[in-house]
Amino acid sequence: MDRKTLGSMLQKEKEELEVRVAKIDRDFGNRKISKQFDEQSVERENDQVLVNLELEAKEELKAIEVALARIDSEYFDRCASCGETISDARLEAVPHATLCIDCAQ
Ligand SMILES: [Zn+2]
């Protein structure tokens, strides 16, 4: 895959994730504290789901930053472990992948 294509895919992925994180933050902000204990425990479960989703999104953002930092190097499409070129199919599925499919497994 060429540098430009991968770079714009990463940029797009990053923007989508930032929107997702902002939406989660907004969901937290909009939440009203319920007085009913039952509802509170349901809300706590929902909170946990949101926290996990946000953590996941932030982990992915970090990985995208790493991949974006690599984009100007000659290794931008190389596996960080074995040095082989990462396949187009894999980069299309996971633009921020820094390992080839074999090393990732
Ligand atoms: Zn590899």
| More confidently predicted of 48 and 29 | 48
Considering the entire predicted model, what is its pTM? 0.81
Reading the block at residue 16, the tokens are 């989508």
Q: Which residue has the higher pLDDT, 32 or 97?
A: 97
- Domain with residue 27: its CATH number is 1.20.120.910
Domain with 65, as residue range(s), is 3-104
Q: Are 70 and 76 spatial neighbours (Cβ–Cβ below 8 Å)?
A: yes
Q: Compute the distance from residue 25 Cα to the ligand 1 centre, in Å.
A: 36
Percent of the chain exceeding pLDDT 70 equals 94
Q: How far is the CA of 91 from the centre of ligand 1 (A)?
A: 13
- Is residue 16's pLDDT more than 70? yes
> Mean pLDDT over all residues of the chain?
91
C-alpha–C-alpha distance, residues 35 and 94, integer Å: 43
The total domain count for the chain is: 1
| Residue 85 CA, ligand 1 centroid: distance in Å | 8
Burial-class residue 2 by CB neighbours within 10 Å (0-12, 13-18, 19+). exposed
- 33 CA from centroid of ligand 1 (Å): 49
CA of 102 to the centre of ligand 1 (A): 6
